[in-house]
């Protein structure tokens, strides 16, 4: 829950996300996101025989799926005509996943790695394609895990060798 709230705080105060001011994080729905993630993680660990903690890309993919399922960012004014095209939950799912993979907020080193990723000329193209996938196409939690695994192999290779606490 802490990383989810911290990701939203960073997006809402510093992120360049169109329409972010039209949304707020709903604590009750955010709680459902976390419970869904914990349940999915338990199933994933049973299915793949994971005995210990999960790798960051798995956490990122499962959380992204839960964020997109429950959509914890809700409009502050449901009558605002601009909210229909806003994608704050999609941005939250992606940004949260990147922060988990980059170890952002834990060691400080992830801050530089994440900034370096976002400064790459093709990052915006990747982000726009990922947003399109999440908004318009079909995906599974496993495909989201694979997306974050691929990102980690390229941008945060050390994260592939570490595990995060389950809960």
Closest CA to 68 of 136, 165, 22: 136
Chain segment 23-45, per-residue pLDDT in tens = 999 999 999 999 999 999 999 88
Question: Which of the four pLDDT bands, split at 50, 70 and 90, describes residue 167?
Answer: very low
Chain segment 93-150, per-residue pLDDT in tens = 999 999 999 986 555 556 788 888 999 999 999 999 999 999 999 999 999 999 999 9
User: What's the pLDDT at 40?
Assistant: 94
DSSP state of 55: P
The domain locations on the chain are 2-161
Q: Is the pLDDT of residue 166 over 90?
A: no
Question: Which of the four pLDDT bands, split at 50, 70 and 90, describes residue 86?
Answer: confident
Closest CA to 58 of 145, 117, 136: 145
User: What's the pLDDT at 158?
Assistant: 83
User: What's the pLDDT at 120?
Assistant: 93
CA angle 124, 37, 10 (to 5 degrees): 40
Percent of residues, the chain, with pLDDT higher than 70: 92
> Which residues does 145 contact at the CB level (< 8 Å), separation at least 6?
57, 58, 60, 61, 62
Helix or strand (DSSP H, E) at 118: helix 109-119
Chain segment 73-83, per-residue pLDDT in tens = 999 987 877 77
Query: Measured between alpha carbons, how far is 107 from 90 in angstroms, rounded to an integer?
Result: 26
Indicate if the alpha-carbon torsion angle 157, 57, 6, 93 is positive or negative: positive
């Amino acid at each position: 829950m802490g990383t989810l709230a911290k990701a939203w705080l960073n997006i809402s105060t510093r992120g360049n996300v169109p329409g972010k001011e039209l949304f707020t994080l709903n604590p009750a729905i955010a709680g459902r996101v976390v419970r869904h993630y914990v349940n999915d993680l338990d199933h994933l660990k049973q299915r793949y025989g994971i005995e210990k903690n999960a790798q960051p890309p798995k956490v990122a993919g499962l959380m992204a799926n839960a964020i997109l399922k429950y959509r914890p960012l809700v409009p502050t004014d449901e009558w605002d005509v601009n909210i229909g095209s806003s994608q704050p939950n999609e941005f939250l799912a992606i940004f949260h996943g990147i922060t988990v993979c980059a170890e952002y907020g834990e060691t400080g080193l992830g801050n530089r790695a994440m900034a370096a990723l976002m400064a790459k000329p093709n990052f915006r193209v990747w982000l726009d394609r990922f947003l399109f996938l999440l908004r318009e196409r079909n995906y599974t939690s496993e495909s989201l895990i694979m997306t974050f695994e691929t990102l980690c192999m390229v941008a945060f290779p050390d994260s592939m060798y570490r595990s995060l606490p389950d809960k």
